[in-house]
Structure 1
């Protein structure tokens, strides 16, 4: 991949989109992860206003530290970057008190994790409206179009997605060229939705390099009968999640009423 040319292309694409939309720039959440670090740096390179939000909800200390390190890096290198911290922990805790929590605990935990992402989306759009900004998404290709590892109407609720055509491995290539802090580059990817240090691999059951391999095999029309052992297991994980999360990747179904009934 021609990393520097890809960076320039994305930066110009972001700038053109924002100017054509008549907005002042971008707003996005800073999590301490590689995707938000790369996306925020790309947005900063446009020269337009960039508002970076910290939105902790019982956040793991390591995530908070990495987010603050990246914010310091951005503000030291780009004068168009501003930051705000909105602690959503009290909002989330109040929500938990008001909703029914009965049944399977794992299902409840997942619903609450998705609620965290949706509270953050609401906060991003509040500031987007307040300051005339676009909400920049931080999803990459394997997450958005491979296994659907994001929250519908949470981190999936954005105005534009600058890195959604890049695989996770390609995001890392951009990160090195953009001089993203090493602590972020070396950290295990995590969605941070459970208030602990569990990684994406812990939740998915496969690493991103494995998932990228599986995506390539599916594109080449190869199935699990072509493999054995770990490769077969990874391909099954990929295919299961891809199928289960199609509702995130496909347009919202619309019930089309026949003309003779109107």
Structure 2
């Protein structure tokens, strides 16, 4: 990958899109992870306004601190960057307490994880409307179009996706080029929706390098039957996520009314 040229291309694309839309800048949720660190840095390099939101909800202290240090680094390098912390923990707790109790706590736990992402999306769009900004998405190609590892109308609810055509390994390559803090680069990827230290790999069952391989095999028409051992297992994992999360990756189904019925 021609890293420097890719960076310049994304920055120019962001600037042109916002300018053509008559928008003042961008707002982004910074989590302390690699994707939001890279995306926020690319947005900052446009020279347009950038508001970085930190929105903890029972968040691990290590994630919050990484996010703050990244934002501080970004503000030192770019005068167009501002930050705001929105404490969403009491909002989340209040919402949870207003919901009726359920029998299956495990299902409730999963639903509430996605609720965290949707509360953050709501906060991002509040500031976007207030300041005439675009919400910048942080999803990469493997997450957005491979395994669908994002929350529908949560972190998937954005105005534009600067790094969605980049594999996770390419995001890391750009992070190195941009000088992103080493603690972010070496931190295990996590969606931060659980309030504990579980990683993306813990949840998916495969690492991002494995998923990139599986995505390539899937695109080539290969199936799990073409492999054995760990490769077969990884391709089965990929295919399962890709199939079950397909609804996230395609437009909302519309019931088209036959012309004769109108």
Same fold (TM over 0.5): yes
Q: Which residue number in structure 2 is paired with residue 52 of structure 1?
A: 52
SS of residue matched to 2:127: helix
Deviation string for 1:139-162 (max 9, x for gaps)? 000000000000000000000000
Q: Which residue number in structure 1 is paired with residue 86 of structure 2?
A: 86
User: How many residue pairs end up in the alignment?
Assistant: 262
Q: Which residue number in structure 2 is paired with residue 100 of structure 1?
A: 100
Q: Which residue number in structure 1 is paired with residue 17 of structure 2?
A: 17
Aligned-pair distance for 1:260? 1.2
Q: Which residue number in structure 1 is paired with residue 230 of structure 2?
A: 230
Alpha-carbon distance in structure 1 between the residues aligned to 2:140 and 2:110: 21
Alpha-carbon distance in structure 1 between the residues aligned to 2:109 and 2:189: 20
Alpha-carbon distance in structure 1 between the residues aligned to 2:23 and 2:103: 45
Alpha-carbon distance in structure 1 between the residues aligned to 2:216 and 2:107: 31
Alpha-carbon distance in structure 1 between the residues aligned to 2:184 and 2:204: 20
Q: Which residue number in structure 2 is paired with residue 220 of structure 1?
A: 220
Q: Which residue number in structure 1 is paired with residue 27 of structure 2?
A: 27
Q: Which residue number in structure 2 is paired with residue 206 of structure 1?
A: 206
Alpha-carbon distance in structure 1 between the residues aligned to 2:136 and 2:40: 8
Alpha-carbon distance in structure 2 between the residues aligned to 1:192 and 1:198: 8
Q: Say if 1:66 and 1:5 are closer, same or farther in 2 by CA, change over 3 A.
A: same
Alpha-carbon distance in structure 1 between the residues aligned to 2:106 and 2:176: 37
Instruction: Report the RMSD for the aligned CA atoms in angstroms.
Output: 0.6
SS of residue matched to 2:28: strand
Deviation string for 1:58-100 (max 9, x for gaps)? 0001101110110111011000000000000010000000112
Alpha-carbon distance in structure 1 between the residues aligned to 2:151 and 2:107: 14
Runs of 4+ in 1 over 6 A off after TM superposition: none
Alpha-carbon distance in structure 2 between the residues aligned to 1:178 and 1:237: 32
Alpha-carbon distance in structure 2 between the residues aligned to 1:11 and 1:186: 25
Alpha-carbon distance in structure 1 between the residues aligned to 2:47 and 2:146: 32
Q: Does 1:111 align with 2:111?
A: yes
Q: TM-score under structure 1 normalisation?
A: 0.99
Alpha-carbon distance in structure 1 between the residues aligned to 2:78 and 2:107: 42
Q: TM-score under structure 2 normalisation?
A: 0.99
Q: Which residue number in structure 2 is paired with residue 72 of structure 1?
A: 72
Aligned-pair distance for 1:103? 2.7
SS of residue matched to 1:236: helix
Alpha-carbon distance in structure 1 between the residues aligned to 2:64 and 2:117: 16
Deviation string for 1:125-144 (max 9, x for gaps)? 00000001000000000000
Alpha-carbon distance in structure 1 between the residues aligned to 2:224 and 2:101: 39
Aligned-pair distance for 1:101? 3.1
Alpha-carbon distance in structure 2 between the residues aligned to 1:229 and 1:104: 35
